[in-house]
Chain A
Amino acid sequence: KNQVEQSPQSLIILEGKNCTLQCNYTVSPFSNLRWYKQDTGRGPVSLTIMTFSENTKSNGRYTATLDADTKQSSLHITASQLSDSASYICVVSAGSNFGNEKLTFGTGTRLTIIP
């Protein structure tokens, strides 16, 4: 059964600090891994998408890493801002990159930035 596990479940950090969120997955056949940010009361917004051959990808202050051998990914947030308070969801896609993909969603990490 395809599974995506995220840790920690929740995290509280001071504004300006860095943090790292973890994602472990057992999804086969692996196609790509995505990180989404979901603000309270809103739909998820894509931050990064990585394929098997990519081991790091950045989007502003967000940097995602992927280790396809250990089936682990991390999302590093640098110099956190109050607007980073949200749930961060790791999503792994199984199947081919040309359609018929199945997405498995993690339960998310709830990040709270305090001033």
Chain B
Amino acid sequence: SAVISQKPSRDICQRGTSLTIQCQVDSQVTMMFWYRQQPGQSLTLIATANQGSEATYESGFVIDKFPISRPNLTFSTLTVSNMSPEDSSIYLCSVEDLGGGYIDTQYFGPGTRLTVL
């Protein structure tokens, strides 16, 4: 199974600033994803981070607000830009691993808890 680390684990930021979250995986993976989990809600997919090309964003999420980088098969960053209190959430990195079988398993990082004042 993939081991995923995220930095920072939590942060408190001022309105209008930006925060970059890092995701590091201990093995090369094809698929990496970024999710948001707002308080009391379930997970919502923000985008799929594609290695060497632009990320694929879900409806309601745009690159200007959530720029994503994926320079290689083990690392990705998500930036939350021009933050507002509505961006206060847990942001989770996830990877997909076939694990030698035919069904992918998604592994999640520990999350980054963001509070915007």
Contacts and interface: CB of A to CB of B under 8 A. Distances in A.
Nearest to A4: B42
Contacts of B102: 97-98
A106 B42 contact: yes
Interface string A99-115: 10101011110000000
A95 B92 CA distance: 23
The secondary structure that dominates the A interface is strand
A106 to B, nearest CB: 6
Contacts of A60: none
B4 A43 contact: yes
B45 A41 contact: no
Contacts of A106: 42
Contacts of A42: 110-111
Interface string B89-117: 00010100000001111111111010000
Contact of B111 (A41, A49, A97, A108): A41
Interface of B: 4, 41-45, 92, 94, 102-111, 113
Residues of A in contact with B, size category: 20 to 34
25 contacts: A32-B103, A34-B106, A36-B108, A41-B110, A41-B111, A42-B110, A42-B111, A43-B4, A43-B92, A43-B110, A45-B108, A46-B105, A46-B106, A46-B107, A49-B103, A49-B105, A51-B103, A89-B42, A97-B103, A98-B102, A103-B45, A103-B106, A105-B43, A107-B41, A108-B42
Contacts of B108: 36, 43-45
A99 B102 CA distance: 9
A41 B92 CA distance: 11
Contacts of B41: 107
